[in-house]
Amino acid sequence: MASFEVRGGQPLRGEIVPQGAKNEALQILCAVLLTPEPVTISNVPDIRDVNKLIELLRDMGVKVGKLGPDTYRFEASDVHLDYLDTPEFVAQAGALRGSVMILGPMLGRYGRCQLPKPGGDKIGRRPMDTHFLGLEKLGGQLTLEGTDFYRIKADGKLKGTYMLLDEASVTGTANILMAAVLAEGTTTIYNAACEPYLQQLCKMLVRMGAKIQGIGSNLLVIEGVERLGGTEHRMLPDMIEIGSFIGLAAMTGSEITIKDCQIAELGLIPDTFRKLGIQLEFRGDDIYIPAQPHYEIATYLDGSILTISDHTWPGLTPDLLSIVLVVACQAKGTVLIHQKMFESRLFFVDKLIDMGAQIILCDPHRATVIGLDQRKSLHGITMTSPDIRAGVALLIAALSAEGTSKILNVEQIDRGYQNIDQRLNAIGADIRRAS
Ligand SMILES: CC(=O)N[C@H]1[C@@H](OP(=O)(O)OP(=O)(O)OC[C@H]2O[C@@H](n3ccc(=O)[nH]c3=O)[C@H](O)[C@@H]2O)O[C@H](CO)[C@@H](O)[C@@H]1O
Ligand SMILES: C=C(OP(=O)(O)O)C(=O)O
Q: What is the ipTM metric for this complex?
A: 0.98
Q: Look at residues 216, 234, 252 and tell me which one is the last residue of a structural domain.
A: 234
**How far is Cα 210 from Cα 372, in angstroms, rounded to an integer?**
52
CA distances to 275, 337, 417 from 346, rounded to whole Å, are 20, 9, 20
Contact 371, 301 (CB under 8 A): no
The structure's pTM equals 0.97
**How far is Cα 120 from Cα 117, in angstroms, rounded to an integer?**
10
Q: Look at residues 185, 200, 234 and tell me which one is the last residue of a structural domain.
A: 234
pLDDT exceeds cutoff 90 at 73: yes
- Best CA proximity match to 360, nearest among 352, 370, 368: 368
Q: Which protein residue's CA is at the shortest distance from atom 31 of ligand 1?
A: 126
Any ligand 2 atom below 6 A from CB of 389: yes
Q: Residue 155, exposed/middle/buried by CB under 10 A (0-12, 13-18, 19+)?
A: exposed
Residue 280 has a CB neighbour count (10 Å cut-off) of 18
Q: What is the pLDDT of residues 182-237, one digit of tens each?
A: 999 999 999 999 999 999 999 999 999 999 999 999 999 999 999 999 999 999 99
Whether 218 and 249 map to the same domain: the answer is no
Q: Which of 49, 121, 387, 414 is catalytic?
A: 121
Q: What is the pLDDT of residues 385-433, one digit of tens each?
A: 999 999 999 999 999 999 999 999 999 999 999 999 999 999 999 999 9
Any ligand 1 atom below 6 A from CB of 312: yes
Whether 219 and 244 map to the same domain: the answer is no
pLDDT of residue 210: 98
Any ligand 2 atom below 6 A from CB of 120: yes
**How far is Cα 404 from Cα 31, in angstroms, rounded to an integer?**
44
Whether 15 and 41 map to the same domain: the answer is no
Q: Does 23 show up as a binding residue in the annotation?
A: yes
Q: What is the pLDDT of residues 243-294, one digit of tens each?
A: 999 999 999 999 999 999 999 999 999 999 999 999 999 999 999 999 999 9
Q: What is the pLDDT of residues 153-171, one digit of tens each?
A: 999 999 999 999 999 999 9
Whether 224 and 256 map to the same domain: the answer is no
Q: Does 22 show up as a binding residue in the annotation?
A: yes
Q: Examine the residue annotation and report whether 121 is marked as an active-site residue of this protein.
A: yes
Least confident piece of the model among 104-113, 118-127, 426-435 = 118-127
Q: Which of 53, 166, 171, 175 to mutate to test the pocket of ligand 1 (most atoms within 8 A of CB)?
A: 171
Cα 412–52–6 angle (5° rounding)?
25
pLDDT exceeds cutoff 90 at 119: no
Q: Which protein residue's CA is at the shortest distance from atom 4 of ligand 2?
A: 120
Q: Average per-residue pLDDT in the chain?
A: 97
CA distances to 254, 328, 340, 420 from 294, rounded to whole Å, are 11, 11, 29, 26
Confidence band of 121 (pLDDT split at 50, 70, 90): confident
The range of the structural domain enclosing residue 108 comes to 22-234
CA distances to 344, 353, 387, 416 from 413, rounded to whole Å, are 17, 21, 7, 6
pLDDT of residue 398: 98
Mean pLDDT of 66-80: 97
Q: Does 46 show up as a binding residue in the annotation?
A: no
Q: What is the pLDDT of residues 123-138, one digit of tens each?
A: 888 889 999 999 999 9
Q: What is the pLDDT of residues 304-334, one digit of tens each?
A: 999 999 999 999 999 999 999 999 999 999 9
Crossing angle, helix 103-110 and helix 22-31, to 10 degrees?
10
Residue 51 has a CB neighbour count (10 Å cut-off) of 15
Whether 82 and 60 map to the same domain: the answer is yes
CATH (domain of 32): 3.65.10.10
Tell me the ligand closest to 98's alpha carbon: 1
Q: Does 341 show up as a binding residue in the annotation?
A: yes
Whether 224 and 299 map to the same domain: the answer is no
pLDDT of residue 118: 86
Contact 394, 408 (CB under 8 A): no
pLDDT of residue 168: 98
Q: What is the pLDDT of residues 359-394, one digit of tens each?
A: 999 999 999 999 999 999 999 999 999 999 999 999
Contact 259, 17 (CB under 8 A): yes
Whether 9 and 109 map to the same domain: the answer is no
Instruction: Give the helix/strand (H/E) hosting 142.
Output: strand 141-144
pLDDT of residue 120: 79
Whether 212 and 191 map to the same domain: the answer is yes
Residue 334 has a CB neighbour count (10 Å cut-off) of 16
Whether 164 and 258 map to the same domain: the answer is no
**How far is Cα 308 from Cα 323, in angstroms, rounded to an integer?**
12
Cα 331 to the center of its chain, rounded Å = 26
pLDDT exceeds cutoff 90 at 435: no
Cis peptide before 38 (omega within 30 of 0): no
Contact 216, 176 (CB under 8 A): no
Whether 265 and 299 map to the same domain: the answer is yes
- Helix spans in 292-432 (H): 321-328, 349-354, 388-400, 411-414, 420-425
**Nearest ligand 2 atom, CA 416:** 9
* Residue 379 DSSP one-character state: B
CB under 8 Å to 328, separation ≥6 — which residues?
A: 276, 297, 335, 337, 369, 371
pLDDT exceeds cutoff 90 at 148: no
Q: Look at residues 208, 234, 260 and tell me which one is the last residue of a structural domain.
A: 234
Any ligand 2 atom below 6 A from CB of 319: yes
pLDDT exceeds cutoff 90 at 147: no
Report the number of distinct structural domains present in the chain. 2
**Entry field: residues in the chain:** 435
Whether 295 and 310 map to the same domain: the answer is yes
Whether 288 and 382 map to the same domain: the answer is yes
**Nearest ligand 2 atom, CA 119:** 7
CB under 8 Å to 57, separation ≥6 — which residues?
A: 29, 32, 33, 64, 74, 76
